[in-house]
Amino acid sequence: MDIDNIIENIGLYVHIPFCRSKCRYCGFYSRPVEDYDVERLIAAVITELDNCNCIGSIQTVYIGGGSPSCLPEKSLLRLIEYIYNRWKNIEEFTIECNPGQVNIEVLRKARKLGVSRISIGAQSFDHAELEFLGRTHNVGDITNAVTQAKNAGFDNISIDLIFAIPGSTILSWRQNLMRAIKLGVPHISAYSLSYEDGTILKQQRDAGLFAPVDEETDRAMYELTEELLEQAGFEHYEISNFARPSFRCKHNMRYWQNKPYIGVGPAAASCTGNQRTKNIADIDKYIQAVETNGTTAQETINLSAADIASETAVLNLRTADGINIEDYRQRHNLDICNVFAGPIERHCSLGLIAREKNNIRLTKNALPIADSILCDFIID
Amino acid sequence: MDVKHIRNFSIIAHIDHGKSTLADRMLQITGTVDSRQFKDQILDDMDLERERGITIKASAVMMKYDYNGETYMLNLIDTPGHVDFHYEVSRALAACEGAILVVDATQGVEAQTVANTYLAIESGAEILPVLNKIDLPSAQPDATAEEIEHILGMKKNYCFKISAKTGIGVKELLDAVCELLPPPADRSGEPVAALIFDSHFDEYRGVICYVRIFAGKLTVKQKIKLIGSGKIYQILELGKFGPKMTPVSELGTGEVGYVIANIKGLSDITIGDTITDAVQPAEKPIPGYKKPMQMVFADFYPGDDTDYSKLRKAFEKLSLNDSSFSFFPQNSPALGFGFRCGFLGLLHIDIIQERLERENDIDVVQTAPTVSYEIVTTDGAVKKIDSPSELPDVTQIKELREPFVTLEIITHTDSIGGIMKLAENRRCTLIKTDYISQTRVMLEYKAPLAEIVYDFYDQLKGISRGYATMDYKFTGFEESDLVKIDILVNKTAVDALTLIVHRSNSEARGRKIITKLRKAIPRHQFEIPLQVAIGGKIIARETIKSFRKDVTAKLYGGDVTRKMKLLKKQKEGKKRMKSIGSVQIPQKAFMSILDTSD
Ligand SMILES: Nc1nc2c(ncn2[C@@H]2O[C@H](COP(=O)(O)OP(=O)(O)O)[C@@H](O)[C@H]2O)c(=O)[nH]1
Ligand code: SF4
């Protein structure tokens, strides 16, 4: 991330590129934690943070990965403390934790150092599914992690779940959802299993080693998720995200609002002004770059006004609020109803887009097939 | 040069039997092309031809050869070897007195060997049969000679045995060309008459006519007249092909060369027309040959409507160099503005399509190729219908006729059963079975062109494991029990999918088409009914289910760039399809209607 003098309020993402073991479906950049000098990486991340001249305030922080929870206590707390000392007005500070890697003492300390939200990679309440995914924790670890987080003083807790895992059924997914609701957390992200390039899972699927869940079931599971979670008092506020009132993830909302953020650490992405950059996705090269005062960016893309306006439209439409017509006009100097008149009309007539007084948003029917609609919101 | 020392001939052969190799060897032996700068297969000059291994356009070359102490001028006129280009073979032969018939001794007589031989016989050319590839251990020159005698009626003892590759026997063959092929008739005292047997378009010099002088002579600056069109021009340049175009001051009786006369476009001349002197014209044109009939038609639409004029320019360019290709504007309610194009056959379509893609950056939607039909209306008028959608209402039609061909298939005896079944399924009637040898047979069928126009050849190759060869010749239009099939996509009839088929298999075809379409049209956000209507009655229905899931589950900061790229691609994909109503139909779907395979 090579940005000077950011004045606006921004989000900060820190990528911890380590994991204890690799999950079979995972497409993130992460390496075995035991193979690296972790302290040196954390030092580099802090240096990268030092180098960024953020004059404005950091509004949200998200330490993700990888698995931040697999870091030695000392390293993790050092990073948290740096952020805590440097920026005062952080509204939301999330750390991702893997079940089985949660230590109540560390959580207590983190809470004291400003961390306000814990996101737990639960994924499933079914042993066989956890095994299929290549997760190393068990079902008990999930409940345990939630309890410890609560005991450490966190009320803003999120869990991640995955559905449409081969072998799962509507019934097994219903059980999963009920278990999740019973945990009493205010935020749930539920993702349909995706087969990312370069993952073992995808290779195995392509080799025909197992049959993916069919589309019809996948859709039914998605609809069930919405039904059960809404009944339980959650709002469906983004395609894969559900929250109790006032527990939406502020950091992630920034992404969908297309607001600026900076990312530090290997493979982290930043979006500022009209630039999107991505850091070097290689721990050693990243460390070397930081230590020699070189650039950490591996890729920088300059966006045209049309690109940015397209991104705003596409990202906004993923949320329940959709595109606010007035905000869009002010920000991009474009009348959304004009620029996308054709797609809006077509999708409205198919009941896929709702055109309200102030907003344009996807309908419930549209969410499961959102991409087929979003692609029409790109300006050439 | 004295006509006695001129020999004009063509080499005719089935594909891959060695025609081009033999031509190359002759060029080398006669010293026409320097061995060092020798580039294999000089005569096939277009890339495309080289790649596909077929010669599309006839071209000519002049060779000097010493025989018995005298120098001969040998003009070799190249011919294409494929089914679709019979007509070009005939026009090359019309300029010759003789033909060398090359048969691969490892393969024996094939379908185009037979077809080309018939053309040579019809043109009155003297034929020298040649057994090629005798250097190969698998060559069976004697058995092949038997086949030639049996099926083509030539004496087996008179077959030359050569290897075009190593050169064995080629010199003897050249001697025989001088010795055995007749010289042109000496009509040097008559008013000039020159046959235009080919042409090509040169951006700088305009039309270049390839001519064979039958009487009199042409000289530079001469005022000439085209007998057919009556147009008058002045000769700017004359020349011979050696093999490069080499200017000369005159072309005499019996000679082959080219004429440049400030002719603007290929449409200004007709291949087969006769050039004569404007002041002292010949009385009669040289008997030409039949113009090829375009029997196969397909529509081309720009993938993107804004490319219409680009597409028109591209077609104009293509037709400049290929007079057997034609195009005219067409307006389809479903596909918008495009062109209906006429072709000699299916290979011809492939070639045009490839050129279109290679030389122009245009996305096109091509409809399935169909044949021409003839109708007799209730008031007795006979009309040619080049597109199924032109067919008037049944009440106005007294008779519907479809084109028939004579189809010749040569195959190994062990695949006869399979081929007969295929032929039967395609409404072909067996006329004759002729055993060429103990293991090979020639089948002659009467076949509706519509049935063999699409994938017949591929199927034939499949059934015979690549052995069978085929050739066909148009014989005429005949009454047939035909019906029109309409395909409705999302309740709208799509004109580009309309088809005329025989009643006996119309229902089965209709069903097959929508089954294919169901696979070819991607699922949409809504359900799409596909229906088949025959005579206004729906006889079959299928449904394309709507897709149920198409969404990226996770989209956070690091994913935006990649996701936007994917969405852009998705959008482009939609754009490349034709939208008919609210349904997007990919290009390949328009071809799928003729695919009769399962
Ligand atoms: N061994 C051998 N191969 C030959 C001979 N003549 C042609 N070929 C090969 O047969 C193939 C087809 O020959 P080509 O001249 O392109 O056939 P065309 O399609 O009739 O022009 C090529 O691979 C040639 O090298 C020959 O006399 N002997
Ligand atoms: S723990 Fe998370 S980041 Fe690590 S491998 Fe598993 S899914 Fe990927």
On the question of pLDDT at B49 being above 60, the answer is no
- Domain at A320, CATH number: 1.10.10.920
Q: pLDDT tens, A209-254? A: 999 999 999 999 999 999 999 999 999 999 999 999 999 999 999 9
Whether residue A340 is found in the same domain as residue A228: no
Omega prior to A65 cis, within 30 of 0: no
Give the pLDDT confidence score for residue B307 in this predicted structure.
85
Let me know whether B461 and B507 are in one domain.
no
- Which pLDDT tens digit goes with each residue over B436-474? 888 889 999 999 998 888 778 888 888 988 788 888 888
Inter-chain residue contact A268 with B555, CB threshold 8 Å: no
Give the tens place of pLDDT for each residue, A300-313: 999 999 999 999 99
Claim to verify: residue A193 and residue A112 sit in the same structural domain: yes
DSSP assignment of B30-69 equals TTSS-STT--S-TT--SHHHHHHT---S--EEEEEEEETT
Residues 6+ apart with CB under 8 A from B255: B1, B6, B73, B75, B212, B213, B240
Please check whether residue A264 lies inside any domain of the structure: no
B132 lines ligand 1 (CB under 6 A): yes
**Mutant choice from B306, B567, B582 vs A, greatest count of A C-beta within 10 A:** B567
* Interval between CA B521 and ligand 2 midpoint (Å): 38
pLDDT computed for residue B272 by the predictor: 83
Judgement on whether residues B19 and B159 belong to the same structural domain of the protein: yes
Instruction: Tell me the pTM.
Output: 0.64
Chain B CB contacts of A218 below 8 Å? 548-549
B549–A215 C-beta distance less than 8 A: yes
Asked whether residue A273 is domain-assigned, the answer is: no
Q: Pick from A14, A18, A33, A67 the residue to mutate for probing ligand 2's pocket: most ligand atoms within 8 Å of its CB.
A: A67
Q: What mean pLDDT is predicted for residues B167-192?
A: 95
Flag whether B442 is in a domain: yes
Number of neighbouring beta carbons within 10 Å of residue B449: 22
Q: Tell whether B227 and B357 lie within a shared domain.
A: no
- B325 is in which domain, residue-wise? 296-368
**What's the average model confidence in pLDDT over B339-358?**
82
The interface predicted TM-score (ipTM) is 0.93
* Beta carbon of A28 within 6 Å of any ligand 2 atom: yes
Say which ligand is closest to the CA of B110. 1
CB atoms within 10 A of CB A266: 30
How far apart CA B511 and CA B509 sit, in angstroms, is 5
Bridge partners, B536 (sequence order): none
* Element housing B518 (H / E): helix B506-520
* pLDDT score recorded for residue B51: 42
Cβ proximity of B76 and B92 under 8 Å: no
Please check whether residues A243 and A326 belong to one and the same domain. Answer: no
Q: Do B567 and A378 touch (CB under 8 A)?
A: yes
Rounded to the nearest integer, the mean pLDDT of chain B is: 86
Query: Which among B462, B479, B496 is the end of a domain?
Result: B479
SS3 B553: coil
Which range, A5-14, B32-41, B349-358, B374-383, is most confident? B374-383
User: With b meaning 16 or more CB within 10 Å and e meaning fewer, what string describes A147-165?
Assistant: ebbbebebebbbbbbbbbb
Residue that the structure tokens 């026997």 belong to: B169
Q: CB neighbours (10 Å) of residue A37? A: 12
- Asked if the structure places residue B573 within a domain, the reply is yes
**Same domain membership, residue B263 and residue B309:** no
Q: Which of B14, B21, B25 should be mutated for ligand 1, with most atoms under 8 A from CB?
A: B21
Q: What is the mean pLDDT of residues B529-557?
A: 92
- The domain boundary, picked from A256, A291, A324, lies at A256
User: Last residue of a domain, which of B460, B479, B498?
Assistant: B479
- CATH number at B426 reads 3.30.70.240
A101 lines ligand 2 (CB under 6 A): no
**C-beta of residue B487 within 8 angstroms of C-beta of residue B530:** yes
| Chain A residues whose beta carbon lies within 8 Å of the beta carbon of residue B526 | 350
Residue with tokens 């754009």: B575
Residues from chain B contacting residue A307 (CB–CB below 8 Å): 564
Mutate to test the pocket of ligand 2, among A30, A71, A137 (most ligand atoms within 8 A of CB): A30
* DSSP state for residue A54 in the 8-state scheme: B
Kindly state the tokens that stand for B279: 């002041």
User: Measured from the CB, is residue B356 less than 6 Å from ligand 1?
Assistant: no
Which tokens in the block code for residue B573? 């994909």
In chain B, % of residues over pLDDT 90: 46
Residues B348 and B378 in one domain: no
Contact A216 B551 (CB under 8 A): no
Q: Which of B501, B247, B279, B477 is nearest to B368 (CA)?
A: B501
Whether B457 is in a domain gets the answer: yes
Q: Residues A308-342: pLDDT tens digits?
A: 999 999 999 999 999 999 999 999 999 999 999 99
- Percent of chain A whose predicted confidence (pLDDT) is above 70: 97
- How many whole angstroms from B16 Cα to the centroid of ligand 1? 6
Ligand 1 atom showing the smallest separation from residue B44 Cα: 21
Give residue-wise pLDDT tens across range A118-166. 999 999 999 999 999 999 999 999 999 999 999 999 999 999 999 999 9
Q: Are B48 and B66 in contact (CB under 8 A)?
A: no
Q: How confident is the model at residue B34 (pLDDT cuts 50, 70, 90)?
A: low
Does some domain include residue A300? no
Q: Given a cut of 60, is residue A373 above it in pLDDT?
A: yes
Contact A352 B554 (CB under 8 A): no
Q: Is B133's pLDDT higher than 90?
A: yes
Q: pLDDT at residue A74 above 60?
A: yes
A176–chain B nearest CA distance, Å: 18
Q: How confident is the model at residue A122, as a pLDDT?
A: 97
The H-assigned helical ranges of B46-127 are: 47-52, 86-93, 111-123
Across the interface, of A219, A301, A376, the residue whose CB is closest to B571 is A376
Residue B52 has pLDDT above 50, yes or no: no
* Residue A247 located in a structural domain: yes
Residues B260 and B312 in one domain: no
Does residue A328 belong to any structural domain of this protein?
A: yes
Does position B334 have pLDDT exceeding 80, yes or no? no
Q: Is residue B164 within 6 Å of ligand 1 at its C-beta?
A: yes
Q: Do B548 and A367 touch (CB under 8 A)?
A: no
- Residue A64 confidence class, pLDDT cut points 50, 70, 90: very high
pLDDT band at B595 (very low <50, low <70, confident <90, very high): low
Whole-number pLDDT of residue A54: 67
CB interface of A with B, residues 256-295, below 8 Å = 256, 261, 263, 267-271, 276, 278
What pLDDT, on the 0 to 100 scale, is given for residue B2?
87
Residue B16 is given by DSSP the state T
Task: Over range B14-38, report the average pLDDT.
Answer: 83
**Most confident residue range from B226-230, B560-564, B586-590:** B560-564
Whether the pLDDT of residue B575 is over 90: the answer is: no
How confident is the prediction for chain A on average, in pLDDT? 94
**Ligand 1 contact via B81 beta carbon (within 6 Å):** yes
Residue B178 has a pLDDT of 96
Same-domain status, B456 and B533: no
Q: A291-305, B172-186, B576-590: which range is least confident on average?
A: B576-590
Residues A319 and A213 in one domain: no
In Å, how far from its chain's centre is CA B368? Answer: 17
Only one residue has tokens 């729906």, namely: B538
Per DSSP, what are the bridge partners of residue B98?
Answer: B9, B126
CA dihedral sign, ordered A280, A285, A286, A292: negative
Rounded average pLDDT over B223-246: 90
Specify if B285 maps to a domain.
no
User: B395 and B358: one domain?
Assistant: no
Q: Is the dihedral angle over the CA atoms B308, B311, B317, B322 positive or is it negative?
A: negative
Ligand 1 lined by B130 (C-beta under 6 Å): no
Work out the average pLDDT over B475-484: 92
For B211, counting Cβ atoms within 10 Å of its Cβ (0-12 exposed, 13-18 middle, 19+ buried), the class is buried
Locate B103 and state its tokens.
């048969």
A193 to chain B: nearest residue by CA?
A: B553
pLDDT higher than threshold 70 for residue B141 = yes
> How does residue A264 score in pLDDT terms, banded at 50, 70 and 90?
very high
Å between A128 CA and nearest CA of chain B: 22
CA distance B549 to chain A (A): 5
Minimal-distance CA residue of chain A relative to B527? A350
Domain count, chain A: 2
Percent of all residues in chain B with a pLDDT value above 70, rounded to a whole number: 92
In angstroms, the separation between the Cα of residue A178 and the nearest Cα of chain B is 21
B434 and B475 share one domain:
yes
Residues B460 and B526 in one domain: no
Residue range of the domain that includes A338: 305-374
Q: Residue B266 belongs to a domain with what CATH number?
A: 2.40.30.10
Flag whether B9 is in a domain: yes
* Confidence grade of residue B594 (pLDDT, cut at 50, 70, 90): low
Which residue among A191, A271, A346 sits closest to B554, beta carbon to beta carbon? A191
What's the pLDDT at B288?
Answer: 62
Distance (Å) from CA A190 to ligand 2 centroid: 16
CATH number at residue B64: 3.40.50.300
Chain B environment of A374 (Cβ under 8 Å):
567
The 10s digit of each residue's pLDDT in A174-183 is 999 999 999 9
Are both B74 and B173 inside the same structural domain? yes
Q: Which ligand is nearest to the CA of B54?
A: 1
Classify residue B142: in a domain, yes or no: yes
Quick check: A369 and B568 CB within 8 A? no
Within a domain: residue A117?
Answer: yes
pLDDT given at position B587: 73
Please judge whether A194 and B549 are an interchain contact, meaning their C-beta atoms are less than 8 angstroms apart.
Answer: no
Note whether B563 and B584 are same-domain residues.
Answer: yes
- Order of strands across the sheet that contains B206-215: B232-234, B223-226, B274-277, B193-202, B206-215, B256-260, B237-241, B245-248
Closest by Cβ to A374, choosing from B548, B549, B567 = B567
Nearest protein Cα to ligand 1, atom 9: B18
Mark out chain B residues that contact chain A at CB-CB < 8 A.
525-526, 547-558, 560-561, 563-564, 566-568, 570-571, 574, 582
What tens digit of pLDDT does each residue of B274-300 get? 999 999 999 888 876 666 667 788 888
More confident site: B262 or B287 = B262
A157: domain CATH number is: 3.20.20.70
| Whether the predicted pLDDT of B38 surpasses 60 | no
pLDDT number for residue B48 = 44
Domain-located, residue A351: yes
Are A188 and A332 contained in the same domain? Answer: no
A171 with A237, same domain? yes
Q: What is the pLDDT of residue B384?
A: 87
Q: Whose CA is nearest to atom 13 of ligand 1?
A: B18
- Write down which residue in A237, A256, A275 finishes a domain: A256
CA distance A216 to A368: 11
In a domain, A326, yes or no: yes
Same domain, A233 and A320: no
Cα A77 to the center of its chain, rounded Å: 22
Domain endpoint, select from A199, A221, A256: A256
Domain boundary among B454, B479, B504: B479
For residue A26, the ligand 2 atom closest to its alpha carbon is 8
Can you tell me the mean pLDDT for B256-262? 93
| Number of domains forming the structure of chain B | 5
pLDDT score recorded for residue B36: 52
